[in-house]
Each structure stands twice: as C-alpha cells, then as structure tokens.
Amino acid sequence: MTREVVVTGVGAVTCHGAGADTLWQAMKAAGVRRPDRPADPLARMELPLINLVPDPDLSAARATRFAVAAAREALTDAGLTASRAAVVIGSCMGEAGLNERGRGGEEWVAPFRLASEVATELGLVGAAHDVGNACSAGGYALGMALDMVRAGETDVVLAGGSDAYSRVALGCFNRLGAVDSAGCRPFEADRAGTVFAEGAGMLVVESAEHARARGVARPLTLAGSGWSCDAGHVTAPNTDGEQIVRAMREAVGGDEGAGRIGCVVPHGTGTRLGDKVESQALHSVFGARTRRVPLYSLKALLGHAGGASAALGAVAAALILRHGHVPRNIRLERQDPGCAVWLPQDGAVPLRVDRRRVLVNAYGFGGSNSSVVLEGVAA
C-alpha cells in the first residue's frame, strides 16, 4: 500500500522565541545572534556556549516543554484536535538535563520519553516512538512518519525533533575542540566548529486522503526521504561523501527529481570537514546546476539544534514553500572557496514555479545520514 503523504501543520520553538511565524520573521531579518552562556555553575568548560531558547528555567524538562509547545502549534496549524495520531520525535540527548542536574540523587528518569510525554500532554493515542540517531534524528523521524503513512499504518503522525541544553553534550564538544567561540558560521573560510542551540520543530504528517476528507486546502507534500550510514568513523563523515549523496538521491528521486529542487536547507554545522564534504556531495547530486540552487543556512541563524535540526529545517522548508521565496542568508565574511555553493545574501530569491521543492539534509555521529524533500503546490 502506497499513499500520497502531505504536511498540514508546522510548529517551532527556537532561540528567537516560540512559533513558526517568529522563526519566519527571524529568517527574513537575517540578524546575527551571539551565543549565550547558560546560568549553570557546573558548566566547567572552556566555551560553555549555546543558543538558548528565551526561557530562564534550566531546572525544568526543557526538551519536553519545547516539543509539546511546537506540537500544539502544529496541530492548531493543521486544524486538528485530539486524534489517533502517532508521535515520532528525534533527539540527540532526549531529556538528559534532568539527570545531569540531579546527579547524586535517588531518582533517575529515562531521557528518551519525549514522544510519550507529547502524546500524554495532547491526548494522542497512536504509537509513540523516540529516535536517537544523533544530529540526524529529526530527519529519521520524518522519514519514519512518511513510511508509516505510506504503508497505511496510520493516517496522521506528529513528527519532528527536540533538544535542549545538556551539560554533558556541551562538555563533550568542548573536549573535541569543536566549539567555535565566534558562533555557528557554516561555510565561512575561518570557521572553527559549531555552536549548539536549543529548539523543537514539529510537523503534522498526514495521508492526502485524510486531509482531503477534512477539507484541507493546498497542503504541502512530503515528497521523499532517504537515509544511509557511512559505516566509517565515529564522529567524522567519510570524505568521499558517497553515502550522503545516496541519501540525497533517494530523497529527491534521482537526476530527474534533482532538477526540480528549488532550494536546499543544508546540514552545514560550521565544522571544517563536514561543510566541505556536504558541498562536494551537492555537486555530485546537482552537477553543473549546483551554483544556481540557492541554499538557506538555518544553522547560521539558529545554531546547531542537534536532533531537532532537521525538523526545524523542514519547518523552515515549509515556510519557504508557503511564502514562495528563499530569504537571504546571514552575510558571510568570506566564504570558503572549498565550499562552492550558492548562499544568497543580498536579497530573497523567488522559487520558480517548476521548482517548488526544498531538500533538507541532516547528518549525525556514527555516519547517520538523512534527507527529506517537501513540495509546494504551484503558485
């Protein structure tokens, strides 16, 4: 059984505040945001830098709160109330912060329970899955949602990702020497690592038949997904980018599908090797057209939201499709000549009517690669 799958609602929580419209306004403004230092006296590391959601309560279950808020917005955007929807949420760390802050205490709580918490809060009685594929987790969650609906296992899935401040995660990246003191600067010539961010992105993934039956007009289509594994290094991508290319090609539908892509939201985190490998992989997929395909670097605006990054990328893709143009990127000081991709910086780029498709990439530790494609209706 194979069914058409659509996206009927989106929700977001980011360092710019709550709401997908808040995210869109930030995308249009293209302002530079400097990283925060969390009010955590035990964050004893050289660069305790992260882009925090404007919510000062670090003691609470932040990843859960962000996921619930984004999910509630997505359901409202879709015009859905309580339903038999399934929930699939990707995350790097789950709700690790509670255990980190309670270290030495008697109570330990499972960090990967975001999906069941969201289901409980919103009264959703379908299946609930947490996905832990590192920084590609949100992309895997969307791919799973696509497969579940296509296979007829459910009509509606609330899918996305959420991650919040974790002392352990930040400490690990400090030990790796992978934090850029200047901020998250993908594709810059002198980039020196990444800067993490908090946030959540959620999408209502639905069968087209179910959406039509309840009168949804002009939904977006979740047109494809692809995933692969480098089966190589624990943290670094394989330099040949072969499996990254494979995931992208599966998502876009080969060379013919690649010709219909009008924008890419890249993974590009600001690491020296990762940005270069992804740039070269894009050339393998798009060939001579690569320099004419606009990229929108969401991480330059938000930082790297870990397991939520692909979900937020998909929300950004939905907003780009709804508004019909790619906002300008945050201006680069000097683009790395080894990353020969097009990052528009002087103004918005309209989507061509025959290329209303956005490719979203996400890659994680362990060589986990995922790509998804959203498609808009003709203007």
- Mean pLDDT, range 16-26, rounded to an integer: 98
pLDDT of residue 110: 85
Confidence at 273, pLDDT banded by 50, 70, 90: very high
Task: Taking the CA atoms of 141, 199, 252 and 191 in sequence, report the sign of the dihedral they define.
Answer: negative
CB 222 within 8 A of CB 196: no
pLDDT tens digit string along 101-151? 776 566 788 889 999 999 999 999 999 999 999 999 999 999 999 999 999
CB of 102 closer than 8 Å to CB of 59 = no
Residue 339 DSSP code: S
Query: Are the beta carbons of 191 and 345 closer than 8 angstroms?
Result: no
Whether 154 has a pLDDT exceeding 90, the answer reads yes
- pLDDT tens column, 56-65: 888 889 999 9
| Tokens found for residue 374 | 């959203």
The beta strand positions in 25-149, using DSSP E, are 50-51, 86-90, 128-131
DSSP label at 289?
G
**pTM, full prediction:** 0.97
Q: Which helix (H) or strand (E) holds 129?
A: strand 128-131
